Chain A
Amino acid sequence: MAVKMSKIRGIANKLHERIDCLIEKCPNMTAAPYNYNYIFKYIIIGDMGVGKSCLLHQFTEKKFMANCPHTIGVEFGTRIIEVDDKKIKLQIWDTAGQERFRAVTRSYYRGAAGALMVYDITRRSTYNHLSSWLTDTRNLTNPSTVIFLIGNKSDLESTREVTYEEAKEFADENGLMFLEASAMTGQNVEEAFLETARKIYQNIQEGRLDLNASESGVQHRPSQPTRTSLSSEAANVKDQCSC
């Protein structure tokens, strides 16, 4: 039954896209109000000082932010990326790692499509805390949320305290995606954000993620703002376009 439901959802999601394609191909229809098809919501979590804000900054600005101040509450960044020729806007919530902001951080888990869990490869304590971060994530997000583990500061090989192998093992045990990255050199930063998006997109395609659920963390942006239902939209397309 569940398998059937997900198949149907997958088909419905693909239909949505097909229609978007049709609309885009029709020059006589009004211009798209949004320049992207989806919004994915991400959250970045992890201990204080592991480099969450720097990862975000590197991803959105392609620059390394030296002496980055402590995050107070939350911060926010966006970037539009492309997956499978689909424009996807990532809305990224960067949370404070400090314990005193834990309540604020927790309130942002809800409705995240992707969670980037960050530790610092040069500080074992940040790695040891991962299980508590993971518990929070599992409890406060929905089952389809993609969790990506990032070992940051991979440029500091000489002071490494956590090996790649043990982190990889931890990730595999818990079904997480995993990469070591460096917010300073930019190595693997792009990959981590994009891999997460690809995985989420794949979940949409395969119907594992319900676009209409309020807490999926994904918003689909139709090219036309006034869509009411699938059928009327399809009829509309037929009427006005000759392709």
Chain B
Amino acid sequence: MACYYRQNEETTVTIPKYTNETSSGGVTYYDIKVRVAKVEWMVERRYRDFAQLHDKLVEDIAISKKLLPPKKLVGNKQPAFLEQRREQLEAYLQELLIYFRTELPRALAEFLDFNKYDIIYLLQDLAKLFDESGDALLSSKKEYNLSALEVFAISERLSLPCPPNVDRDGKYDFSHVLDFCTQLVALVVTPVKDNASYAQDYNTVDVPIGRSNIIPNRLNFNLNAFRNLKTLKFSALSTENIVDIELLKPTLQTICVHNTTIQNICQVLLCDNLHKYCDVPSLLPEAIRPPSATNGSILISTDAWQELTDLDLTGNLLTQIDGSVRTAPKLRRLVLEQNRIRVVQNLDELPHLQLLSLSGNLIAECVDWHLTMGNLVTLELAQNKLKSLKGLRKLLSLVNLDLSCNQIEDLEEVDYVANLPLLESLRLTGNPLAGSVDYRPRVLARFHERAVEISLDNERGSQQELDTALVLSALLQSKQRQRQK
């Protein structure tokens, strides 16, 4: 990202070419190339824009009126003339840049798109916005979307030796931005603002911003300005771009990361930690710690997420649940939908976990899950590869269970979950067994007298189904008795 304040010595403006295609109505556009150190971008302007800029500069700052090449009414389409004018306009811009060595006037900054790509001028835009409507935005309590570039600019600006206010009436004062940031409760960070296509497809994260060479995924920032954040959402942008997250740990309650290429949870929960791939030590006191947890090499030391209750990592490339979830001991909701997880592990130190969603993963078996997550109330396992439900048989607090679109064939498997005393909702649609004759009454029959209370595939049993179920249940019981004899 550009910083003219610091790098004005390395700033150049050129006009490499002009275009006057018939598609644009024969209007001649000059393609301006701005370069600030390693950052560069293109801006397209026509002569009329130059004239307007010039008028404003003459009026506000009293620069020489003769600086801009004059308007020509006849013959202004000839290549020789356009080439000459291109050179003149280039010289004009270069002259302006010498004139405004330390600080660009707003009109010029906007003309050259500095307010899109430069730290100081971009934040001036934000300051103006928050000065006018910051309080309204905050009082609505909604989440607020900032682009990676904006977050980066805020974080960089805090260590820039540049006074916060430049103008007289304080409209562009950086304080307004920080004032807003410190009070913001829910922040969404995306590569660019309000662009749905980015959120959809994480393969495009290396696309630069606008007509510049700035790539959002390569901007590293901290979020220290956001002192009271409770919800943090990242979309199509890796949390590894955060260089320091310690200050957010005491307040953050919800973290959502969607549509990125992250493969491990530690890339989120330990995003700023250099040793994140080392084994995370158990946070339990030594006396009650399971012996296995102490074996790993304990290299990592990190503060826990004291308030984090919700973690939603839908739509990434996670392959496992690594030990870093232990750093969030108060987790209540863990959503890991649409990933590539095969094995469920490391959940044994999350006693508050109530909702676990693993829909759309590659889980083929569940082994004695009650040993690690005994307090689950809602478990979503739709679109996995489960064949057997034996491992769920003692999840005694379970109320909602979604098993749709798995590979359960045998009706006997239902018995394992039919014994769960609190179960109210069960979804089995999309499994091979759901295609069999009398599927609904036969499943309901497995619940015996509790069949009335069960909602199967989002629907209570009809009277007819329940009657059938009752008969089937009686048959089942008599069969069982015979077997016992």
Contact = CB atoms under 8 A, between A and B. Distances in A.
A72 B224 CA distance: 10
B175 interface: yes
Given A34-B135, A69-B247, A106-B161, A76 B168 contact: no
Contacts of A75: 158, 224-225
Interface in B238-271: 246-247
Contact of A110 (B163, B169, B246): B163
A118 B229 CA distance: 28
Given A91-B175, A214-B168, A76 B159 contact: no
Contact of B135 (A35, A73, A93): A35
Contacts of B225: 75-76
A103 B169 CA distance: 25
Given A34-B135, A75-B224, A91 B161 contact: no
A10 interface: no
Contacts of B165: 110-111, 214
Interface stretch (B74-82, B122-130, B178-186, B463-471): B178-186
Contacts of A110: 163, 165
The binding surface of chain B is classed by DSSP as loop
A34 B130 CA distance: 12
B162, B163, B225, B247, most chain A CB atoms within 10 A: B163
A218 B121 CA distance: 23
A153 interface: no
A219 interface: yes
B247 to A, nearest CB: 7
A78 B179 contact: yes
A73 B224 CA distance: 11
A108 B162 CA distance: 8
B160 interface: yes
Interface in A58-81: 69, 72-78
Contact of A73 (B159, B170, B175, B246): B159
Interface residues of B, number: 25
User: Which size class do A's interface residues fall under?
Assistant: 20 to 34
B236 to A, nearest CB: 28
A41 interface: yes
A78 B158 contact: no
A108 B160 CA distance: 10
A27 interface: no
B227 interface: yes
A116 to B, nearest CB: 17
Given A33-B135, A76-B175, A91-B175, A111 B163 contact: yes
Contact of A104 (B136, B159, B175, B182): B159
Nearest to B157: A73
B246 A69 contact: yes
Given A35-B135, A219-B170, A77 B227 contact: yes
A77 B182 contact: yes
A229 interface: no
B168 A78 contact: no
Given A72-B158, A72-B159, A73-B159, A78 B183 contact: yes
Given A73-B158, A76-B178, A78-B182, A108 B164 contact: yes
A73 B160 contact: yes
Contacts of B246: 69
A107 interface: yes
B198 to A, nearest CB: 29
Nearest to A41: B175
A106 B178 CA distance: 18
Interface in B150-206: 158-165, 167-170, 175, 178-179, 181-183
B233 to A, nearest CB: 23
B220 to A, nearest CB: 13
B471 to A, nearest CB: 65
Contacts of B158: 72-76
Contacts of B160: 73, 104, 107
- Max chain A CB contacts within 10 Å: which of B158, B224, B247? B158
A147 to B, nearest CB: 19
4 closest A-B pairs by beta carbon, nearest first, are: A73-B159, A103-B161, A76-B178, A73-B158
Interface of A: 33-35, 39, 41, 69, 72-78, 89, 91, 93, 101, 103-104, 106-108, 110-111, 214, 219
6 contacts: A39-B175, A73-B159, A93-B175, A104-B159, A107-B161, A107-B163
Given A93-B175, A107-B160, A111-B165, 18 more contacts: A33-B136, A35-B135, A39-B175, A69-B246, A72-B224, A73-B158, A76-B179, A77-B182, A91-B175, A93-B164, A103-B161, A104-B161, A106-B161, A107-B162, A107-B163, A111-B164, A214-B167, A219-B170
